Amino acid sequence: MTNTKVAILGAGLAGLNAARLLHRAGIDFILLEAGGRPGGRILSVDAAGAPAADGFDLGPSWFWPDRQRAIAGLVRELGLESFPQNAQGYVVFERMSREAPHRLSGLRDDQQSQRLAGGSAALVDALVKALPTDRLRYGAKVVAMTLTAGGVELSVRTGDVVKETLTAEQVIVALPPRLLAATIPLDPAPYDSVLHLWNSTPTWMAPHAKVFALYDRPFWREAGFSGTAQSLVGPMAEIHDATTCSGQAALFGFVGVGAGQRAAMGEEALKAACIQQFARIFGDDAANPRATLLKDWASDSLTATPADAAPTAHAAGQAREWIAGPWQARLAFAGSETSAIEAGFLSGAVEASVEAAKLVRQRLEGMLAG
């Protein structure tokens, strides 16, 4: 049996940042990640779909430093480079299939979105480098948690076998609340009101799919387009320029059809329909990308549950009582969905992880004082 002060569930942005803060405070932790890589919903890949240091963001990509202080501060602290999302040129609007797409003058953005050089995975890489490697465990899935007199007992599975029992005085849950409710039994069971809150909280990115088309050059810019489009025709509802800071040219779109319809279409048919839409909007040059990428987060079992297949509203972003009853003194939530001010954004993951690390540190100090 392994003992630690704090067990952290999930090595996405929130879990990694919570680990960084605890490590800086000299607090022992073990970070458990069910998948084989860090990052969670942050996934930056190359043209072949493999994780890359200068990649395309299949998950979240933007942040707004003027109004999102938590993520802006972390980017500065880690010394990362950012660049503005391209907004120069026409915006296109597709209203009806029998009408030609409408060109609109680009709108001024007083709070322009930024992207990270190298992709959002630059955040993940920098945070991992700040942590002791022997405290990071990948392919380690928590399958049960039991409250004990001295803390929490966690059953950890590697592959198909429960290989370890881990005990911790505190647990930071850096997972979406709905995913926790669906995948990790707690003993004693949380109150019904708590489970209802967890299950009713939308998971950021989970219902969505992103399609990328990669090109040799950003020809749409040469033709006066920003790369931004809105469509009521589909299959993509929203399109943007995804060209990297290093100049790798790409467009991407959020697929506007639901998860069930995406599954029924199949990956190749869906990508083909999206390429047709890119060409319809931006011209024949868009019809022959050098590569295409598709990430359907609704089919990712480490992100989504069956409840996430249906489109839902964005996470609420307000102060809530995420835990009540006997677990209240042992659990702390750090996922983006639990942020009181930036739920469902990169900044929300940072803000929530800061608050969780602070709470856990206060609890541990209180135990020592007691």
pLDDT of residue 369: 64
Tens-of-pLDDT digits for all 370 residues of the chain?
Answer: 689 999 999 999 999 999 999 999 999 999 999 999 999 999 999 999 999 989 999 999 999 999 999 999 999 999 999 999 999 999 999 999 888 899 998 665 556 899 999 999 999 999 999 999 999 999 999 999 999 999 999 999 988 777 889 999 999 999 999 999 999 999 999 999 999 999 999 999 999 999 999 999 999 999 999 999 999 999 999 999 999 999 999 999 999 999 999 999 999 999 999 999 999 999 999 999 999 999 999 999 999 999 998 877 677 767 789 999 999 999 999 999 999 999 999 999 999 999 999 999 999 998 766 5
Separation between Cα atoms, residue 330 and residue 322, nearest integer Å: 12
Phi and psi dihedrals of 4, rounded to 5?
-150, 160
User: What domains, with CATH codes, occur in the chain?
Assistant: 1-42+121-203+314-370 (3.50.50.60), 48-119+207-299 (3.90.660.10)
How many residues in total does the chain contain? 370
Helix or strand or coil: residue 1?
Answer: coil
One-letter amino acid for residue 178 of the chain: R
Q: Report the phi/psi class of residue 176: left, alpha or beta, with left for phi > 0 and alpha for psi in -120 to 50.
A: beta
Question: What span, in angstroms and rounded, lies between the C-alpha atoms of 364 and 41?
Answer: 30
Are 60 and 347 in contact, with CB atoms under 8 Å apart?
A: no
Q: Which residues pair with 44 in a beta bridge?
A: 57
Q: For position 311, what pLDDT does the model report? A: 76
